[in-house]
Amino acid sequence: MTRVPRTALARRVALLVLIFWLMALAFVGGNLSGYTMRSAMAAGERPAEFDIFWQAWDYVVAHFVDRERVDFTAMTYGAIEGMLASLGDEGHTTFLPPDAVQLHQTSLQGSFEGIGAYVSMEEGNVTIVAPINGSPAESAGILAGDVIMEVDGESVEGKSLDQVIFLVRGPAESEVVLTVRRPDVDELVTVTIVRDRIEVPSVAWSAIPNTELAYVSISQFTFGVDKELESALREITEANTYQGIILDLRNNPGGFLHQAIEANSHFLPRGDVILIEADAYDNQTVHRSRGWGYARQMPLIVLINEGTASAGEITAGALKENDRAVLIGETTFGTGTVLNQFNLSDGSAILLGVTNWLTPDGNLIKGQGIQPDIEVEQPASIRMTNADMLRSMTTDQLTALEDTQFLRALEQLGVEFHKAPLLQSDVHPLPFLVDPNNE
């Protein structure tokens, strides 16, 4: 049981300072969703609504029967989480306890220690989207579509996606035991995995067998995406053999805004609007394509799904509304705010949405997502095509893929499928091909 402060007054003063500060920050987030609270708290004035909070707090402290479970830290963190959840910026604005702050920092560095698997929240269940090629998860037998039920014997029911990821991750060479529910298997499956250091390049590309097309994926807009993408596109364009690109943004959770701007600048003519930022006071900042681009003239298809979020949605929206690409797949997640991290005194932090992202046409991404031009629904259990697969894939294997979104992209770029092995087909320029004289 957590030690109780000497006096109720000391407790209240300390907690009030913390909550007042958090509420002040939260008011900014509230303005982002149109709920104006600028006059709710004058200097030194406690909002009347806090009386209810303190009533509930004091009842718990005075009367809750399981005394050993009264944990002031857990109660405070729970209050903060509830406050941020009320802002409606689902999947973006969030609270990070101290042990999750470092996890968040490393998630954008392109490497981490863990089992190596992409996961998503599907109907309240943490589901394996795909194990990373060559990862401990793949070696141990984790499959796409597995639903995580327990981590080291602890049920994950009611836990958020981030909470489950934190349980699964851990230092290299340590073990973690996952209990999963596998489609078409009656009994739960237990898998023991030895964690390792996972290096995940944010950009990967490959030629698509027996076509004149290139496949490029951006898994996350981490540090260095601009350099990785430039290198890949330079190889593609200098080869002088590729007549189109499939850009895969599926399950891309986002990342850094400046990296998304640099990435879009490779595909969009200079000066095209990439996104518009609108802050809590309706001030707008327009971001445009700039500099040199290596793929501004090549036909482009973009793959998206419900796991495409944040900076991934910026990219999809910019390419769609500038008539630069055809989007294939499913409506994206709908996370459209710029996050700032505000560190708290105990090592915890809040990630707070401070501006809204709008598409070039001024459409709000938050809560709406980006809709595909061609909708192709696909279960999360289907293993998606990736660059590693394509590098070693035969033509017959290509035609046998279950990734219908990828296959639809090939068709859109002029590849014809036959009962016989896939035949080389002329790739016809698509109507969104940009003017070659436009820099």
- Give the closest residue to 339 by CA, choosing from 268, 253, 272: 253
* Helix, strand or coil, per DSSP, at residue 225: helix
Residues facing residue 327 across a β-bridge:
302
Least confident of 49-53, 103-107, 414-418: 103-107
Alpha-carbon distance of 306 to 250, in angstroms, equals 8
- The contacts of residue 286 (CB under 8 Å, 6+ apart) are 273, 275, 276, 277
Could you tell me the pLDDT band of residue 363, with boundaries at 50, 70 and 90?
A: very high
Query: Where along the chain do the CATH 2.30.42.10 domains lie?
Result: 111-199
**Residue burial 216-242, b: 16+ Cβ < 10 Å; e: rest:** bbbbbbbeebbebbbebbeebbeeeeb
- Give the closest residue to 247 by CA, choosing from 226, 275, 219: 219
DSSP state at residue 186: S
- Give me the phi and psi of 149, to 5 degrees please: -105, -40
Residue 11, pLDDT score:
39
- Ranked by mean pLDDT, the top range of 101-110, 210-219, 408-417 is 210-219
Contacts by 410-415 with C-beta closer than 8 Å and gap 24+?
A: 410/208, 410/211, 410/213, 410/246, 412/301, 412/326, 412/328, 412/374, 413/211, 413/213, 413/243, 413/244, 413/246, 413/299, 413/301, 414/244, 415/211, 415/213
CATH H-level, domain 111-199: superfamily? PDZ domain (2.30.42.10)
Residue 106, pLDDT score:
65
Alpha-carbon distance of 430 to 132, in angstroms, equals 33
For residue 67, pLDDT beyond 90? yes
Could you tell me the pLDDT band of residue 112, with boundaries at 50, 70 and 90?
A: confident
What average pLDDT score do residues 262-286 get? Answer: 95
Distances (CA, A) of 352 to 92, 294, 319, 362: 8, 34, 27, 22
| 320, 326, 330, 331: CA torsion to nearest 10 | 10
Residue 327, pLDDT score:
98
Could you tell me the pLDDT band of residue 3, with boundaries at 50, 70 and 90?
A: very low
Least confident of 43-47, 290-294, 340-344, 415-419: 43-47
Query: Where along the chain do the CATH 3.90.226.10 domains lie?
Result: 203-337+355-412
Q: Write the burial class of residue 40 (CB in 10 Å: 0-12 exposed, 13-18 middle, 19+ buried).
A: middle
Other C-beta atoms within 10 Å of 156: how many? Answer: 20
Least confident of 45-59, 239-253, 396-410: 45-59
Alpha-carbon distance of 422 to 410, in angstroms, equals 11
Alpha-carbon distance of 333 to 212, in angstroms, equals 32
Residues facing residue 341 across a β-bridge:
351
Q: Give percent of the chain with pLDDT exceeding 70.
A: 82
Residue 271, pLDDT score:
97
- Give the closest residue to 354 by CA, choosing from 18, 23, 33: 33
pTM listed for this prediction = 0.70
What average pLDDT score do residues 125-150 get? Answer: 87
Token pair of 176 as six digits = 């973690």
Let me know: does 104 contact 96? Beta carbons within 8 Å. yes
Token pair of 373 as six digits = 């031009």
For residue 423, pLDDT beyond 90? no
- Give the closest residue to 117 by CA, choosing from 160, 207, 178: 178
Residue 432, pLDDT score:
37
Least confident of 57-71, 178-192, 247-261, 419-433: 419-433
| pLDDT tens by residue, 15-37 | 333 333 333 333 333 333 333 33
Residue 198, pLDDT score:
84
Could you tell me the pLDDT band of residue 107, with boundaries at 50, 70 and 90?
A: low
Which CATH number is 203-337+355-412 given?
3.90.226.10
- The contacts of residue 182 (CB under 8 Å, 6+ apart) are 143, 145, 146, 147, 189
Could you tell me the pLDDT band of residue 353, with boundaries at 50, 70 and 90?
A: confident
